[in-house]
């Protein structure tokens, strides 16, 4: 992509990397759930709720904090949220019991929303006809953070006390806070003359009035819910089926490299073809992933193939929906993104809770049935509300 006055290749790369580093905070808990349950002497269903609390905290952070991007200078807002996130990580490291750790995980979720301020900022700065491609690159950073966070957490959890994962993460985030301060572009809009509660009150109206936003919100709810159905129970399944620990759960997370590699291509496909096409492909891929889990998940090769398919489906959905949402009104891009990502992570938290409940009562088949329920809702949304054939290319 050619450099523009407002968004260079270096800036896109910086946004992608920072997005990945911050979003990683949300996923450290998944591969080490067994270790946390043992250390705090709590059940697997309770530790599953801790993972859900992180996702739910993030969802409410998206709803209540991300709209501030339409009010305040995003350069400063991103840094402020990174500082709060670092403090939350340090609390998780120190937590002496499950109660304080639960508070820390909720705060980690609430404060790790800077990526969802960066994403609409990237969409705002990107050339109109290359918005999908730019968002695909930034979202590749997001997926890389999710991917490597699981591997990082799982591998470190196998060689040191799991608490140190959060301490190391706080140190890494501090380094990137300094990088953001030095190199992230300043927001030329500055602060806008908008009132916070007036902005928050507009969220239901934006959801109701924008059909494209409703469709993306429901699809994101379902597809990320399906993703979390797997990742919230994978550590339990590996321990029960294969007698394997957190390190293997982390290594399996590396299979998501397929999603990272295709993200820019998906962005181009959205720009040149149709988001309706790519959303349809996302449901097919994720659905096939769980068919594989159901039929041959008891073999490692089946587990591997299913993970690749599911990660591809998740990435197709995420890039497509972000391109749709960011093609809407730029004056409310942070609010639109807030609504979409709130629904996205609400689906993730419900997927986590439902899957851990199903695992404790029915086992792996129950986990796959929960995913099927999400897929059915996504299919209904696809045919009832649907997606636009083409993105909006008008500059607001």
pLDDT in tens, 8-19: 888 889 999 999
Cα-based distances in Å from 184 to 85, 225, 286: 18, 32, 35
Which pLDDT belongs to residue 289?
94
Residue 18 vs residue 155, higher pLDDT: 18
Provide the pLDDT confidence category of residue 272 given band limits of 50, 70 and 90: confident
End-to-end Cα distance, the chain: 22
Whether residue 16 is contained in a domain is answered as yes
Reported as a single tens digit per residue, the pLDDT across 295-318 is 998 899 999 999 989 988 988 898
Q: Write the CATH number for 285.
A: 1.20.1250.20
The structure tokens listed for 246 are 């957190």
Average pLDDT over residues 29-51: 85
Asked if pLDDT for residue 245 goes beyond 90, the answer is no
Provide the 8-state DSSP code for 7.
-
- pLDDT tens, residue by residue, 364-375: 999 999 999 999
pLDDT value of position 215: 93
Q: Is residue 394 part of a domain?
A: no
Instruction: Please indicate, yes or no, if residue 189 is contained in any of the structural domains.
Output: no
Total domains, the chain: 1
Which has the higher per-residue pLDDT, 388 or 228? 228
Q: What contacts 39, CB < 8 A, 6 or more positions away?
A: 162
Helix residue spans in the chain (DSSP H): 9-23, 33-40, 44-64, 74-94, 98-111, 115-125, 131-157, 163-183, 196-209, 211-231, 234-237, 246-252, 257-272, 275-296, 300-326, 333-361, 364-384
Answer whether residue 6 shows pLDDT above 70.
no
In a domain, 78, yes or no: yes
Q: Annotate 220-243 with b (16+ C-beta within 10 A) or e (fewer).
A: bbbbbbbbbbbbbbbbbbbbeeee
Average pLDDT for residues 264-288, to the nearest whole number?
84
- Is residue 66 one of the residues assigned to a domain? yes
The reply to whether 192 falls in a domain is no
**Domain range spanning residue 119?**
9-184+210-384
322-360 pLDDT per residue, tens = 888 878 876 787 788 888 988 988 898 899 889 989 998
Answer yes or no: is 390 within a domain. Answer: no
Give the confidence band of 3 by pLDDT, cuts at 50, 70, 90: very low
For residue 315, being part of any structural domain is answered with yes
What mean pLDDT do residues 139-153 have? 82
């Amino acid at each position: 992509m050619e450099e523009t006055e407002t968004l260079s290749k270096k800036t896109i790369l910086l946004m992608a990397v920072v997005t990945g580093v911050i979003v990683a905070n949300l996923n450290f808990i998944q591969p080490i759930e067994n270790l946390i349950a043992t250390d705090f002497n709590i059940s697997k269903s309770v530790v599953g709720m801790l993972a859900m609390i992180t996702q739910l905290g993030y969802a409410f952070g998206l709803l209540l904090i991300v709209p501030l991007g339409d009010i305040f200078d995003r350069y400063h807002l991103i840094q402020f949220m990174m500082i709060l996130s670092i403090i939350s990580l340090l609390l998780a490291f120190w937590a002496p019991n499950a109660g304080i750790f639960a508070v820390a995980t909720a705060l980690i979720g609430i404060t790790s929303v800077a990526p969802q301020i960066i994403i609409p900022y990237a969409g705002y700065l990107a050339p109109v006809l290359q918005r999908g491609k730019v968002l695909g690159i930034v979202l590749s950073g997001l997926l890389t953070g999710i991917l490597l966070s699981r591997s990082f957490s799982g591998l470190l959890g196998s060689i040191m006390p799991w608490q140190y994962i959060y301490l190391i993460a706080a140190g890494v985030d501090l380094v990137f806070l300094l990088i953001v301060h030095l190199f992230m572009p300043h927001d030329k809009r500055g602060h806008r003359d908008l009132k916070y509660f007036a902005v928050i009150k507009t969220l239901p109206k934006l959801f109701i009035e924008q059909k494209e936003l409703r469709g993306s919100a429901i699809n994101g709810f379902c597809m990320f819910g399906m993703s979390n159905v797997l990742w919230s129970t994978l550590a339990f399944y590996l321990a029960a089926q294969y007698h394997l620990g957190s390190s293997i759960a982390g290594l399996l997370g590396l299979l998501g490299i397929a999603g990272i590699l295709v993200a820019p291509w998906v962005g181009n496909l959205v720009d040149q073809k149709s988001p309706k096409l790519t959303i349809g492909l996302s449901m097919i891929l994720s659905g096939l992933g769980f068919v594989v889990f159901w039929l041959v998940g008891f073999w490692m090769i089946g587990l591997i193939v299913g993970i690749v398919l599911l990660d591809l489906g998740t990435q197709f959905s995420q890039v497509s929906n972000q391109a749709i949402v960011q093609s809407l009104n730029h004056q409310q891009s942070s609010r639109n993104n807030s609504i979409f990502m709130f629904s996205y992570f609400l689906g993730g938290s419900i997927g986590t809770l439902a899957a851990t409940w199903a695992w404790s009562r029915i086992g792996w088949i129950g986990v796959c049935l929960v995913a099927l329920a999400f897929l059915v809702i996504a299919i209904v949304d696809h045919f009832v509300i649907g997606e636009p054939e083409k993105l909006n290319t008008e500059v607001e």
